[in-house]
Chains A and B, each alone.
Chain A
Amino acid sequence: MAAPETSTAAVPTLYTNNTLRNAFGGVLSFFILLLIGVMAFSIRLFSVIKYESVIHEFDPYFNYRVTQFLAKNGIYEFWNWFDDRTWYPLGRVIGGTVYPGLTLTAGTIWWLLNSLNIPLSVETVCVFTAPIFSAFASWATFLLTKEVKGTGAGLTAAALLAMVPSYISRSVAGSYDNEAVAIFALIFTFYLYIKTLNTGSLFYATLNSIAYFYMVCSWGGYTFIINLIPMHVLLCIVTGRFSSRLYIAYAPLVVLGTLLAALVPVVGFNAVMTSEHFASFLVFIILHVVAFVYYIKGILSPKMFKVAVTLVVSVGLAVCCAVIAVLIALVASSPTKGWSGRSLSLLDPTYASKYIPIIASVSEHQPPTWPSYFMDINVLAFLVPAGIIACFSPLSDSSSFVVLYIATSVYFSGVMVRLMLVFAPAACITSGIALSQSFDVFTRSIKFQLPGISSNTEVDAAETSSATAEAQNDAVKTEKSEETSKNRPSKKSKKKEKEEKPSTKAKAEKRLLALPLDSSVISLLLLILLGAFYVVHCVWAAAEAYSAPSIVLTSRSHDGLHVFDDFREAYGWLRHNTDVDDKVASWWDYGYQTTAMANRTVIVDNNTWNNTHIATVGTAMSSPEKAAWEIFHSLDVKYVLVVFGGLVGYPSDDINKFLWMVRIGGGVFPHIKEPDYLRDGQYRIDSQATPTMLNCLMYKLSYYRFVETDGKGFDRVRQTEIGKKHFKLTHFEEVFTTHHWMVRIYKLKPPKNRIRGKTKKSKSKTSSTSSRGKRSGSGKKNPWQ
């Protein structure tokens, strides 16, 4: 914030005044930033205070398990880790299929703390990684917005981001997921890009590549960066803003960034081979062509240049056509056109639901509803348009980047609810700009019109002084000054628009912009009120909506608070009562938790890399008992786990997910047909349900002995009585049901010791089942007795 040294000689008196102001502002903004960091950290602790310090949801459990492995075995073992306890019997090469950024970050923090003799458990470190990095993310937002629109906007944006609910939802304490560090990496990479663009410094360009590398390590969303930045570069070229700074900002990023990205095992050759990265290379070529053209233009006379252009264009066009044709042929030869399924479903929102049910089935891959925008970014939704307008006046390289960022992320968030997370920082930045600009305008209007304040002339003088200083800078224009100053180039680019406006004219313009006093005051108050609403909403969202760990559920009813700790009860049972090498089958949602909490081998888990394997489990769940038993037996499964919410009204249970199992299973094994499970296109489990539905394994395992609870079998999620109430299981036996029946564990019966004869079935059956009942009777447990 120090003014350029070249201006000291020009206006010494005004300068001292200005430095004091700047120093005071610097200290103030430092403390504001510190407080923003503290707030970003502490607003995410509701989950620890309300529940406990525990890892949340599904994916974090996997990350936690990986981090434990890293902390125990070191980085080389982690890199080469072949995990034989998931995806039985295929196994999974964890080291080569996981984004290691988050794990390495938390592992490093843990190692650092331990070597400082601060003995924290790996779990504690994992729980608090996300809040720490959200503080970092808000500081990165400050830096980015400061580069675009100055300190005021930066502070506002940082404050907004620190508590934006969308980001809180993925970064509360315990939500130990890739996004926790990736959002910081994303914003920081953008900051360094803008910084390089503004300074033209190769140092920042290198830092930018390293930040990009960290982002690649952390999250698959890095493809957003490697597509957005080329888009911006292209935009700059098209709008005639090509400069050497742009070249320095982009070319090293592509070269170094791609080399570094290829070092991450999970990316590897994808960094040069998939279509997601194609745009960056294309723009890289275009940038060089444009730079070359500018160079040629500089050394040739205009007439010669025209001749050269026609020559090159005619030859170059032919070559380009040939190259592009080859490229298109190469790309088109691959069935997915070189795009991964997730990226394709971003470009064509209907793609996944048509072809890949496994992607469409994930709830966070669904398009968001309108209320979720209001829930997740609240008042920012209204401030974003204002911010975009503010970015256009005046439009600089950096502000055009913000506009591009928000435009693309709005689209992506509209396709996948998960990408609201990418949209939230953009919304915060633009809203921060909007708020700061409007505060700027209103306070200035008040200052101008309040008669008691005499210092406004001084302010004016300061403004003019800075304007003259800038004018001088332009006159000096040395290479050195560009390096020493940090702040100037952004102003410089701003000034390009103004084109050497006389400072006196600017002053007059500012007077004209002044609004009436009363309306300014009222607007100011309204804006503060809006901000207050935002704060209240964010605190509510952090405390109530987004802090539930989803492995422990609570519900409030007239007779107090109920805690449902069934998941940990079930995993604990598995850990203590089953053999170490037993295989547990469940729908893939519970795979990570089962391996991490129960330490048992699972068939499929949340890393949905093998569709066929998941379809096999889906088919088993949708098949009748005997067929299902055969499928599970062929996979050496010993226990089957189902989640059932019908007793307590827990809506995201397996019966509600069942249609996805049918669809995914049917996608690979065509004998499973979705219409068989629907009555007139309706999914129901009451007496109108189809026989296929009532006889499938999922129905039976969910509702086995359910009628014993209330005598009617009333399902509180589906709000109906179940269709088939009294039935017996022949190939499975119930071994454990949790307190609220939310998790039910069944054991596969061994193959029959004898094969019965044909005659007198009815009579002998009763005796044999009674004997079996006698034997397994001790294992059954009815919590309602």
Chain B
Amino acid sequence: MGKFWVIFVASILILLPFLCNSFSPDTPTDRRVLVLLDDFAIKSSHSSYFNSLKSRGFDLDFKLADDPKIALQRYGQYLYDALILFCPSIERFGGSIDVAAIIDFVDSGHDLVIAADVNASDLIREVATECGVDFDEDPSAMVIDHTGYSVSETEGDHTLIASDDFIKSDVILGSNKITAPVLFQGIGHSLNPVNSLVLKVLSASPSAYSANPKSKLSTPPSLTGSAISLVSVVQARNNARILISGSLSMFSNRFFRSGVQKAGSTTKHEKSGNEQFLTELSKWVFHERGHLKAVNVKHHKVGETNEPALYRINDELVYSVEVYEWSGSSWEPYVADDVQVQFYMMSPYVLKTLSNDKKGLYSASFKVPDVYGVFQFKVEYQKLGYTSLSLAKQIPVRPYRHNEYERFIPTAYPYYGAAFSTMAGFFIFSFVHLYNK
């Protein structure tokens, strides 16, 4: 054990430069993942999911959620890049982990996967609430759908749902279309519609509702229809990503392997969509996809190459930035036609779409407006599924210098004429007046 620690500390020391920043600009993909479990049975019952992560190079560290030795950080450094909470019933974490520690973990840019379930503990609910997801407050409620359930041999209580209402985003769910419905059994949650950071990835059908299947429904259920979200993702402002699911069992080997036939539908799929859905989603959550970086922000006058300290009004300038997308192993040029730059002073004076050369270089050239002040080059790029790019570069714009105005204005020639003729006339008058006695 002692030897192990020595090696561990040594590896930490070697890795230290890389640990300082979770998204190192070179490789944003997470590497070390802490998995907290209710009991180690989950490790084998959900092994397909874990193996798909391992095969993609993740270093999974399985711990019991109430293990008194677990810790997210040591000496101010985080030990992990991501956290998977497969422990829906835990009431209190072991070690130094609590809600605040998990939230701090996210706020410092790390990723989080939460799987809740029926009878999810207050602790898990609290973490979810902090992230903007509200689970049904009735602890024993499940999502029930009498039309969208998954057909099985035994007519159950229709809590095993087959849902195919996915978010339409290739970035989040991959470019291959998920054909088979996803099996879901668990608790539903709702999102605040004004919350712009959280996205419904898998929502329930309009006929679904959330209630306790064992008791008779006395009052109308609080959550109904497609307002119920089954799986949601959050991308925080610091681009940390969070996956929240109301069902732990949807990650299980059993659901991965089972066939699915949606009620009312004749097509029977040999294999449920769970594996494809969750694998693709995990690629997004762990930053294997949809991560952008902007580098080499440059601006200069047309015809020059050096970046000036300030511009003059009405200068012609060129602004360029390089945008790359992380493909999971390397940075590829990001190609889009909707990246815009603003020349901004309290409001955008210039708003221009950047043109790209398909190699990641975006550029635009425009004229500085006829207004002086402290401007900013702003690129605010927020696209569904991608990390947000927010670049701001301050640049003052000065008025003309005293000798940059035109010396003679054509419209003023009558005035010049008037002034000089008066001077000449005065001279002649003086001459005549003085010497004509």
Contacts and interface: CB of A to CB of B under 8 A. Distances in A.
Interface of A: 76, 79-80, 82, 84, 88-91, 93, 581, 634-635, 751-760, 763-764, 767-768, 770-771, 775
Main DSSP-derived SS at the B contact region: mixed
Contacts of A756: 129-130, 132
Contact of B396 (A91, A760, A768, A775): A91
Pairs of residues from A and B, 7 with the lowest C-beta to C-beta distance, nearest first? A771-B100, A84-B396, A82-B398, A757-B129, A89-B374, A757-B134, A80-B401
Contacts of A767: 98-100, 126
B399 to A, nearest CB: 6
Contacts of A89: 345-346, 373-376
A144 B104 CA distance: 76
Nearest to A265: B402
Contacts of B125: 759-760
B192 interface: yes
A755 B137 contact: no
- Looking at A82, A90, A93, the one whose CB has the most chain B CB atoms below 10 A away is A82
A82 B396 contact: yes
B233 interface: no
Question: Looking at A84, A90, A768, which has the most chain B CB atoms within 10 Å of its CB?
Answer: A84
A755 B129 contact: no
B373 A754 contact: no
22 contacts: A79-B402, A80-B402, A82-B372, A88-B374, A89-B345, A90-B374, A91-B372, A91-B373, A754-B197, A756-B129, A757-B129, A757-B131, A757-B191, A759-B125, A764-B126, A764-B129, A768-B100, A768-B103, A768-B130, A770-B100, A771-B101, A771-B103
Interface in B178-220: 191-192, 195-198
Given A82-B396, A767-B98, A755 B198 contact: yes
Contacts of B137: 759
A91, A757, A767: residue with the most chain B Cβ atoms closer than 10 Å: A757
A455 B55 CA distance: 125
Contact of B394 (A581, A752, A763, A770): A581
A489 B197 CA distance: 88
Contact of A754 (B106, B122, B396, B398): B106
B311 to A, nearest CB: 11
A108 B399 CA distance: 27
Nearest to B395: A84
> What secondary structure prevails in chain A residues at the interface with B?
loop
Nearest to B242: A754
Nearest to B309: A84
Contacts of A768: 100, 103, 130
A755 B195 contact: yes
B128 A757 contact: yes
B54 interface: no
Interface string B393-409: 01010110110000000
A758 B192 contact: yes
Interface string B292-318: 000000000000000000100000000
Nearest to B371: A90
Contacts of B99: 764, 767
Contacts of B310: 82, 84
Contacts of B238: 753
Contacts of A771: 100-101, 103-104
Task: Tell which of A76, A89, A635, A775 has the most Cβ of chain B within 10 Å.
Answer: A89
B107 interface: yes
Contact of B373 (A79, A90, A760): A90
Contacts of B83: none
A278 to B, nearest CB: 22
Given A757-B192, A771-B101, 16 more contacts: A76-B402, A79-B402, A89-B376, A93-B399, A754-B103, A754-B236, A754-B237, A755-B192, A755-B195, A755-B198, A756-B132, A757-B195, A758-B129, A763-B126, A764-B129, A770-B100
A753 B195 contact: no
Given A93-B399, A634-B346, A754 B372 contact: no
Contacts of B106: 753-754
Contacts of A93: 372, 399
B223 interface: no
B144 interface: no
Nearest to A751: B237
B374 A754 contact: no
Nearest to A613: B346
A771 B96 CA distance: 13
A31 B342 CA distance: 69
Interface string B8-19: 000000000000
A88 B374 CA distance: 7
Contacts of A79: 402
A206 B435 CA distance: 25
Interface in B213-261: 234, 236-238, 240
B109 to A, nearest CB: 9
Contact of B129 (A76, A80, A759): A759
A91 B345 CA distance: 11
A80 B312 CA distance: 12
B281 interface: no
B126 A760 contact: yes
A212 to B, nearest CB: 22
Contacts of B237: 751-754
A671 to B, nearest CB: 19
Nearest to A601: B374
B116 interface: no
Interface in B84-123: 98-101, 103-104, 106-107, 122
Given A89-B374, A764-B99, A757 B130 contact: yes
A751 B236 CA distance: 11
B160 interface: no
Contacts of B100: 767-768, 770-771
Contacts of A752: 237
Contacts of A760: 122, 125-126, 129
Nearest to A86: B374
Contacts of A88: 374
Contacts of A90: 345, 373-374
Contacts of B98: 767
B35 interface: no
A770 B101 CA distance: 11
B133 interface: yes
A91, A634, A755, A771: residue with the most chain B Cβ atoms closer than 10 Å: A755
Given A754-B197, A767-B100, A82 B129 contact: no
A754 B133 contact: no
A754 B372 CA distance: 37
A754 B130 contact: yes
A28 B18 CA distance: 85
Nearest to A90: B373
Interface string B132-150: 1110010000000000000
A376 B330 CA distance: 77
Nearest to A761: B129
B429 to A, nearest CB: 16
Interface string B331-366: 000000000000001100000000000000000000
A757 to B, nearest CB: 4
A182 to B, nearest CB: 24
A79 B98 CA distance: 61
B104 A757 contact: no
A605 B130 CA distance: 41
B134 A82 contact: no
A315 B320 CA distance: 72
Contacts of B234: 754
Contacts of B132: 754-757
A548 B126 CA distance: 58
Nearest to A766: B100
A753 B107 contact: yes
A752 to B, nearest CB: 7
A242 B297 CA distance: 73
A263 B98 CA distance: 71
A764 B130 CA distance: 8
